[in-house]
């Protein structure tokens, strides 16, 4: 056996395999990820990977969790609103850095430890703000939808700007059919960051109102 390959195999770990797969997806897209390609990037045969991942499905689930592990931890020293803002903004930033994660995470049934830690952190912030357990549960789902669904839409628009531009041209060219949309497009600006923050603040305001009306706070 090639001494170099033996040394690489001996130090191979699940963490190294997942890191290599994440790097491959970041650089070349998710379609480029296969057991063979990941093995090549590590200098080993694909079969060597099966000691650390159960197969392609396990690899994909592990990749998602490895990326989500970069989501921020909850800061318990600040107001619950600021803690929640930091969690949501940080998660959104990580998903933008790894454009394949949001779609993969929302299409697979497995939920890994890192995502569970994020959910627990969000629930912790909500409960610290005075949410009942039921309200925290409902608000957590709304927050996860905002983080993942908004990111998916943002990435789609960035990835297919020409098609989006064509749709806008169609609307502007036939304002009689879409009068309100045409008027809005003529004066409003499209800013992903501002829109993400707008929805985040709406969520926080809604949670505050729900806390007040429930009497929990």
Tell me the CATH number at 201: 1.10.357.10
Q: Are residues 43 and 87 in the same domain?
A: no
Instruction: Give pLDDT, residue 162.
Output: 54
Q: Does any domain span residue 71?
A: no
Average pLDDT over residues 55-62: 96
Q: Are residues 108 and 196 in the same domain?
A: yes
Q: Are residues 111 and 208 in the same domain?
A: yes
Q: How does residue 152 score in pLDDT terms, banded at 50, 70 and 90?
A: very high
Average pLDDT over residues 188-212: 94
Geometric angle at alpha carbon 152, from 66 and 55, rounded to 5°:
35
Q: Are residues 198 and 98 in the same domain?
A: yes
What are the pLDDT digits (tens) for 1-58?
A: 454 555 455 589 999 999 999 999 999 999 999 999 999 999 999 999 999 999 999 9
Q: Does any domain span residue 61?
A: no
Q: Does any domain span residue 170?
A: yes
Q: Are residues 17 and 124 in the same domain?
A: no
Instruction: Give pLDDT, residue 95.
Output: 98
Q: Are residues 19 and 84 in the same domain?
A: no
196 secondary structure, DSSP code: H
Residue 28 belongs to a domain with what CATH number?
Answer: 1.10.10.60
User: Can you read off the two tokens belonging to residue 32?
Assistant: 């480029």
What are the pLDDT digits (tens) for 78-130?
A: 999 999 999 999 999 999 999 999 999 999 888 999 999 999 999 999 999 99
Q: Are residues 105 and 200 in the same domain?
A: yes
Q: Are residues 94 and 40 in the same domain?
A: no
Instruction: Give pLDDT, residue 171.
Output: 66
Give the predicted TM-score (pTM) of the model: 0.86
Question: Beta strands of the chain (E only): which ranges?
Answer: none
**What is the per-residue DSSP string for 140-203?**
HHHHHHHHHHHHHHHHHHHHTHHHHHHHHHHHHHTTTTSHHHHHHHHH----HHHHHHHHHHHH
For residues 32 and 157, which has the higher predicted lDDT (pLDDT)?
Answer: 32
Q: Are residues 91 and 31 in the same domain?
A: no
Q: Are residues 91 and 165 in the same domain?
A: yes
Return the minimum-mean-pLDDT range out of 19-23, 131-135, 142-146, 172-176: 172-176
Q: Does any domain span residue 199?
A: yes
Instruction: Give pLDDT, residue 189.
Output: 80
Q: Does any domain span residue 60?
A: no
Domain of residue 42 covers 3-54
Instruction: Give pLDDT, residue 217.
Output: 53
Instruction: Give pLDDT, residue 25.
Output: 98
Q: How does residue 161 score in pLDDT terms, banded at 50, 70 and 90?
A: low
User: Can you read off the two tokens belonging to residue 77?
Assistant: 């020293």
Average pLDDT over residues 133-149: 98
Number of domains the chain is built from: 2
């Amino acid at each position: 056996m090639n001494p170099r390959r033996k040394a690489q195999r001996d130090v191979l770990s699940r963490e190294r395999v997942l890191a290599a797969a994440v790097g491959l997806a970041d650089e070349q897209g998710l379609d480029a990820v296969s057991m063979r390609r990941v093995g090549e990037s590590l200098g080993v045969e694909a079969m060597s990977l099966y000691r650390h991942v159960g197969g392609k499905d396990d690899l994909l689930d592990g990749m998602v969790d490895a990326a989500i592990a970069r989501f921020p931890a909850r800061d318990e020293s600040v107001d619950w609103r600021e803690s929640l803002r930091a969690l949501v903004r940080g998660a959104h930033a990580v998903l933008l850095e790894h454009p394949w994660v949001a779609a993969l995470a929302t299409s697979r049934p497995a939920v890994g430890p890192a995502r569970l830690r994020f959910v627990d952190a969000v629930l912790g912030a909500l409960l610290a703000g005075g949410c009942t357990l039921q309200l925290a549960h409902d608000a957590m789902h709304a927050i996860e939808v905002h983080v993942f669904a908004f990111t998916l839409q943002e990435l789609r628009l960035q990835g297919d700007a020409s098609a989006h531009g064509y749709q806008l041209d169609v609307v502007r060219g036939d304002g009689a059919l879409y009068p309100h949309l045409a008027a809005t497009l003529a004066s409003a600006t499209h800013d992903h960051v501002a829109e993400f923050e707008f929805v985040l603040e709406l969520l926080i305001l809604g949670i505050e109102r729900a806390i007040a009306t429930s009497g929990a706070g």
